[in-house]
Amino acid sequence: MKKIDGHKLLNFASHLDDSTIEQAKDTAAMPFVHPHVALMPDAHSGKGSAVGTVIPTLDAVIPAAVGVDIGCGMIAARTVYAEADLAGRDLAALRVALEDAIPLSPGNYNDNVDRYPFTRARIALLEDLAQRNEVDLGHSTTWRRQLGSLGGGNHFIELCVDERDRVWMFLHSGSRGVGNKIAQKHIKVAQRLMEQWWWTDRLPNRDLAFLPQGTREFACYLRELAWAQRFALENRAEMMDRFRVALAEWMGVDPTTADQLEVERVNTHHNYTVKERHGGRDVWLTRKGAVDAHEGVRAVIPGSMGTRSYIVRGKGNAAGLCSAPHGAGRRFSRTEARKRFTVDDLAERMRGIEYRHGEAWIDEIPDAYKDIDQVMADAADLVEVEHVLRQILNVKGQ
């Protein structure tokens, strides 16, 4: 850990580019930050504030710092199977089954909500939450069909094996189109308020526009933010239940007993805001690309496709604001990765792993990300590692 002089900023990353540092300095300079901003080991530049930034604020929230994929995160579930149980089975067939069960890529939603018996209960829960909290979803009439869909970018589904050769189901996704609409709506509201209150010229950049506690706009954002975070949590759970059914069928097990295949589950956000106590004060803590690492809290830290991932337990590090990295973190932008690497490079890096081949995923090549082993070494004071996972199957959104 290193304090960046002259700023309320602590850095846990051994490798940072200048743009990430400057973004973090801008965020830390906001007058309501308390006690400091923490940069996680996987930090890299992002929109408004750097990804991998933990931002504690007094009586205000910055919607763009939370981000447009509200509640994005990871879910991992350990199964009853060992790697030896999969011997001789066609992983490509499981990949195709997963692609059929879970709509992939932005804009791809379910044709209906009746295919699986567990979907309706989740929709009813979210409908009730929206009604009780007066959440306006008029901008997203398809949100029900979005539930159980993956999305694109670095969202993925994987079958993994841990250090004891136990098989895990693993996936990464968030609040999909509905969460994006909620985020964009409130980012614009915050920017409009800054203009009305003559605050725009005092902001390091427009994407640090904030909503003050006590205003109607703040209260509305917090209600809709909470709903989007719950949608993201339920979305991952929905996809994991579908994954479990597909795995059962692939293994020749009655899919109605698929719940018996699962031993344990960890479902965590890494893009969200929550009220916590830090530096002796109650703050709104925004983890933008970071996970909760309070003492004993379990979390999931994925590597890039083709590298290791981790199940961890938090150490409650106060300097790190009880947080930890959310993954490897990008080293090269998507555009730069496409300039540097080819589809053959990707195939070489994914040797021995079943995955979706093609140029669409070049920008997700492991070389475009930071070294996950270095990230985890930098995070040694933040979390302890429980399990180390390696992929045997990967499905990416496009």
Buried b (16+ CB within 10 A) or exposed e, 301-317: bbbbbbbbbbbbbbbeb
**What number of other Cβ atoms are within 10 A of residue 6's Cβ?**
9
d(CA 139, CA 146): 13
- Choosing from 278, 326, 357, 387, the catalytic residue is 326
Strands 37-44 and 9-11: parallel
**What number of other Cβ atoms are within 10 A of residue 1's Cβ?**
14
d(CA 329, CA 157): 18
Q: Indicate the residue type of 66.
A: V
326 is catalytic: yes
Instruction: Give the three-state DSSP class for 53.
Output: strand
Asked, as a colleague might, if the bond just before 35 is cis with ω within 30 of 0, I would say yes
Torsion, Cα 338 340 344 349, to 10 degrees, reads -100
d(CA 246, CA 234): 18
d(CA 6, CA 24): 12
d(CA 309, CA 330): 15
* Catalytic residue IDs: 326
